[in-house]
Structure 1
Amino acid sequence: MREQLISSLENSFSYQEYMDLLEDLVTSESTTGEITQERIDFTALNFKRSQRLNKKLQLSELQTAPFTELETKQTWLVLTESWCGDAAQTLPVLNKLAEASENIELRIILRDENPAVMDNFLTNGTRSIPKMVILDTDLEVLTNWGPRTAAATKLVTDYKEKFGKIDAEFKSQLQIWYNKDKGMSIIQELTEIVATLKNREAGVLQG
């Protein structure tokens, strides 16, 4: 696992590099992974949504405090693909949090190019993305998060139970939810995760 992580990190993107990749894909009318017209279209849509969030998303000092106060370095390694709609809503938020903290480095890798890493972090047996793995300086896995917040996951589960599958109508509803939530659910869950890791570290040091 450690060797797989090292290899993946060596070929990872910074957030700006990932945005550059999206722009190149849009220009060339392509996508990451398996190329289909649907995924090409989603890549273009995701680029626009990410650009909008990059500009509009403003976090308060209260929201970023748990992350700026981190005393040990972490790498937030995110597995995704350019066509992933949830990633377009999630990565800009993660980037804002990472930018606020000198101890968080955000790195991004493509799921289909890193199956050995992805398969260590399946969700209900599936390669659901985006999936974030939090690593310490020794590349030990501290925890993982994703592909969605608990609130967004409930929306998905409830819709599947009622209609049997995810369709275009639900994707539109989920987009509306993301627009209203403005990343707050993501920030809240990661705040809790960071607090748990801090308490765990403090317990280890005391022990």
Structure 2
Amino acid sequence: METLALNALIETAAKTAYSYNEYREMTSNLLAQGKVTGTEQSEDLLAYGELNERRMQRWEKTLKITEEDQKRMKSFSGDMLWLVISESWCGDAAHNLPVINKLADLNPAINLKVVLRDENLNLMDEFLTNGGRSIPKLILFDTKAEKLLGTWGPRPEEATRLVLDYKEKHGKIDEQIKEDLQRWYNKDKGQLLITEVLKILGV
């Protein structure tokens, strides 16, 4: 897609996007009704949604950002939109979205918004990962310069290698790699995501 058209697509999606708190409230309300976001509903997806609610609550309470990384984040200047493509049933989104929110909160020049993948497939299809609609996907857009600075996602590079190596060895994604990935996130505590996003920002 041409740059102007892509910029317009990003800006249009942002107009109907959720703030982080709105996204959390919406997903919690859906769970209370026995539902998740997205076009599909099932017992498995609902179970993932309930698990992810607990994960996000835990990260919101326990995540720590070092003083050095806080200083680097605050040093960024310029108006920016952080648009995250997500769904409530996605485990990677549950681990990473709270970290992205904590980072965005450090700099008032950053406007964090969340859009649902299944409601924004035209946007999603501009930011595929190896041809797939993998989420979460963070789009970093300089609103002043009307320029895409970069993207991040669906998970930190080390975690991505963990999954790809497992899939190459075993030929599939199963419960074992999901458990391995959960342990990786618990050990990393959001630090690699922070490092990678700061690198994109150049601070």
Aligned match of 1:17: 22
Per-residue CA deviation, residues 88-126 of structure 1 (Å, 9 max, x unaligned), is 010010011011111111110001100111111111111
Aligned match of 1:158: 165
Deviation at 1:18, TM superposition (A): 0.9
The separation in 2 between residues aligned to 1:52 and 1:169, in whole angstroms, is 22
Deviation at 1:169, TM superposition (A): 1.3
Local SS of the residue matching 1:26: helix
Local SS of the residue matching 1:12: coil
Aligned runs of 1:16-35 on 2, under 5 Å? 16-33=21-38, 34-35=40-41
Aligned match of 1:201: none
In the alignment, is the contact (CA less than 8 A) between 2:19 and 2:113 conserved in 1?
yes
Normalising to structure 1: TM-score of the pair?
0.91
**2:13 aligned partner, one-letter code:** S
Q: How many residues align?
A: 196
Match of 1:137 among 131, 134, 143: 143
Aligned match of 2:3: none
In the alignment, is the contact (CA less than 8 A) between 2:18 and 2:115 conserved in 1?
yes
Deviation at 1:42, TM superposition (A): 0.6
**CA RMSD between the two structures:** 1.2
Aligned runs of 1:23-62 on 2, under 5 Å? 23-33=28-38, 34-62=40-68
Normalising to structure 2: TM-score of the pair?
0.93
Q: Is 2:88 the counterpart of 1:73?
A: no
The separation in 1 between residues aligned to 2:16 and 2:131, in whole angstroms, is 26
The separation in 2 between residues aligned to 1:83 and 1:156, in whole angstroms, is 18
- Which consecutive segments of 4 or more residues in structure 1 shift more than 4 A? none
The separation in 2 between residues aligned to 1:186 and 1:2, in whole angstroms, is 25
In the alignment, is the contact (CA less than 8 A) between 2:149 and 2:200 conserved in 1?
no
Structure 1 portions without partners, runs of 5+ = 199-207
The separation in 2 between residues aligned to 1:111 and 1:137, in whole angstroms, is 22
Aligned match of 2:193: 186
In the alignment, is the contact (CA less than 8 A) between 2:52 and 2:90 conserved in 1?
yes
Aligned runs of 1:100-139 on 2, under 5 Å? 100-138=106-144, 139=146
Match of 1:146 among 129, 148, 153: 153
